Amino acid sequence: MTTTIYVPRDSAALAVGADRVARQIEAEARARNADVRIVRNGSRGLFWLETLVEVTTPQGRVAYGPVTRADVAGLFDAGFLSGGAHALNLGLTEEIPYLKKQERLTFARMGVTDPVSVADYEAHEGFAGLRRALALAPAEIVQQVLDSGLRGRGGAAFPAGIKWKTVLAAQAPQKYIVCNADEGDSGTFSDRMTMEGDPLMLVEGMAIAGIATGATEGYIYVRSEYPHAIATLDEAIRHAEQAGFLGDDILGSGRGFRLIVRKAAGAYVCGEETALLESLEGRRGIVRAKPPLPALQGLFGQPTVINNVITLASVPLILARGTDFYRNYGMGRSRGTLPFQLAGNIRHGGLVEKAFGLSLRELLYDFGGGSASGRPIKAVQVGGPLGAYVPESQWDLPLDYEAYAAVGAVVGHGGIVVHDDTADMSQLARYAMEFCALESCGKCTPCRIGSTRGVEVIDKITSNQNRPQQVILLRDLCDTMLHGSLCAMGGMTPYPVLSAINHYPEDFGVEAPDRAAA
């Protein structure tokens, strides 16, 4: 009998040698005359356990990890093809507490299926949402997205249904769906995991968005740092076309939708939606002033829905299971789940999908197991490089867009970067300014010049040249950037800077905490 073995093809598994492990398993099986079939699945997102190898047994899938090439012979000796005991045996995958405690809605198939197999996808609820959408009028689909409470997962948390409604109402010869897969934020990888581990979910979400708004073409703008994601998406799109889920006549419905993958070129600001459109049009990715809104004049001047990967990937389930099912997760105006991403100095880094409302402390300790270094955790940056550093006094706040906004922080894309007590917050603040200077599109002065001045001022503070005046100057500069920038690049760089100086003044040589701003 053939034994099915799963070895992830996710970048984070490849980066620790998953290909070698797969090759070794193949070689070892041949040498022992064992009948095995290797499936390259996505990652379960338990990255400290990669390469996580799973074996199908009558009891269910049994996990072994972290497996290196050198472990493979020993695993065969221990009878791992039938779930045998071994130091790396983690028991049934689904029973691993880190996974079991999650609420996986969007990531339910992640690591379970073969990412590019349409049959596997359909066997796990795939395309159920698209089939339902095809039976509805466009306005009904949009209403479901509105009712679900789904807000954009790319950072700004704008209600997805409102954008869709605007595009549906617009009259134009051509409309577009654009997927923002630029994922430039440090500490975020859920878009990458989706494109590598369950790309058909994104394909399905975009097709639904097209049918809902009357757009017949979609573009996925993927960062060049993600070559594996691009290759996997291309493969998945080809398979979806062959199976009739994309093309001129989706499942014989008479409605068409085509998908095109475009590779970005390493500019962080191209994650900003209007800069992204400029880039897709073949120009420098410089931010456009709004209005006009992209929903009315977006790609090539046509009405365009632009959404993040996870926003679009959340839609198939909403259509398949209904709006109430989705709404019933979460709290306040933050409905559904968010794939939180635990990164940096954390023992159990990985992906944790939970409903909004859990606390950072739960994520850091119940899931993350504390710092990787074993030292106390000092600061946690939530929401990417433009997000605030959250001090321990705020770790019990619920993760909810409004609760975070109330303390001058952001949930953003759900990225969580942990720093232990060796971190120097003045240097992290300096880095935030330096990053802004490097990545600014240059269109407006507060961001373009302010960020360079910010680096200089922080250097003066840390080297104690006129420290008290320079601190005033820094706050002033942050205020100008906050209020005078055209987009959130310059407008949010003050978040990490001010939170660092406000919550960790000692790192700047500032004694009395001065809580004047955010």
Partner 1 sequence: MKNLGIATSIAAAHKDMPGGLLPALHGIQDALGHVPPDAVPVIAEQFNLSRAEVHGVVSYYHHFRSAPAGRLLVQVCRAEACKAMGADALLAHAEQRLGCGVHGTSADGRYSLEPVFCLGLCASSPAIAVNDEVHARITPALFDDIVEEARQDS
Residues at the interface with partner 1 (CB under 8 A): 11-12, 14-16, 47-48, 50, 183-189, 192, 224-228, 262-268, 279-285, 300, 341-346, 349-351, 372, 381, 385, 415, 417-420, 423, 428, 431, 435, 439
For residue 365, what are its two tokens?
A: 């300790």
Interface with ligand SF4, residue 288, by CB under 6 A? no
204 binds, among ligand FMN, partner 1, ligand SF4, none (CB under 5 to 8 A by kind): none
Interface with ligand FMN, residue 277, by CB under 6 A? no
242 binds, among ligand SF4, partner 1, ligand FMN, none (CB under 5 to 8 A by kind): none
Residues 6+ apart with CB under 8 A from 426: 458, 461, 462, 500, 501, 504, 507, 508, 509
∠ CA 305-110-13 to the nearest 5 degrees?
110
What are residue 60's DSSP bridge partners? 57
Reference 481, options 418, 441, 436, 514; nearest CA is: 436
> In whole angstroms, how close is the CB of 434 to ligand SF4 at the nearest point?
14
- Mask of contacts with ligand FMN, 176-195, x by CB under 6 A? ----x-xxx-----------
Task: Give me Rg for the CA atoms of the chain.
Answer: 24
* Beta carbon nearer to partner 1, 37 or 284: 284
Interface with ligand SF4, residue 480, by CB under 6 A? no
* Beta carbon nearer to ligand SF4, 315 or 447: 447
* Beta carbon nearer to ligand FMN, 80 or 164: 164
* Beta carbon nearer to partner 1, 144 or 188: 188
* Beta carbon nearer to ligand FMN, 10 or 272: 272
Reference 40, options 27, 57, 23; nearest CA is: 23
* Beta carbon nearer to ligand SF4, 259 or 482: 482
Q: How many residues does the chain have?
A: 518
What is the distance between the alpha carbons of residues 397 and 395, in angstroms, rounded to a whole number?
6
> In whole angstroms, how close is the CB of 138 to ligand FMN at the nearest point?
19
Interface with ligand FMN, residue 420, by CB under 6 A? no
Q: 140: how many CB neighbours lie within 10 A of its CB? A: 12
Consecutive H or E run containing 304: strand 304-308
423 close to 379: Cβ distance less than 8 angstroms: yes
120 close to 92: Cβ distance less than 8 angstroms: no
Secondary structure in 3-state letters for 265-291: CCCHHHHCHHHHHHHHCCCCCCCCCCC
* Beta carbon nearer to ligand SF4, 149 or 490: 490
Considering only 113, 213, 302, 311, the residue that binds ligand FMN (CB under 6 A) is 311
* Beta carbon nearer to ligand SF4, 68 or 445: 445
What is the distance between the alpha carbons of residues 485 and 493, in angstroms, rounded to a whole number?
10
Torsion angles phi and psi, residue 361, rounded to 5? -60, -40
Interface with ligand SF4, residue 287, by CB under 6 A? yes
Residues 6+ apart with CB under 8 A from 23: 69
What is the distance between the alpha carbons of residues 216 and 176, in angstroms, rounded to a whole number?
7
443 binds, among ligand SF4, ligand FMN, partner 1, none (CB under 5 to 8 A by kind): ligand SF4
Residues 433-452 contacting ligand SF4, CB under 6 A: 440-444, 447-448
153 binds, among partner 1, ligand SF4, ligand FMN, none (CB under 5 to 8 A by kind): ligand FMN
> In whole angstroms, how close is the CB of 413 to ligand SF4 at the nearest point?
18
Describe the crossing of helices 227-242 and 190-197 by its angle, rounded to 10 degrees.
40
For residue 253, what are its two tokens?
A: 């419905």
What are residue 222's DSSP bridge partners? 181, 263
217 close to 179: Cβ distance less than 8 angstroms: no
- Mask of contacts with ligand SF4, 350-379, x by CB under 6 A? ------------------------------
Residues that bind ligand FMN (CB under 6 A): 152-156, 158, 180, 182-184, 269, 271-273, 306-308, 311, 487-489
Contacting positions for ligand SF4 (CB under 6 A): 269, 287, 440-444, 447-448, 485-487, 489-490
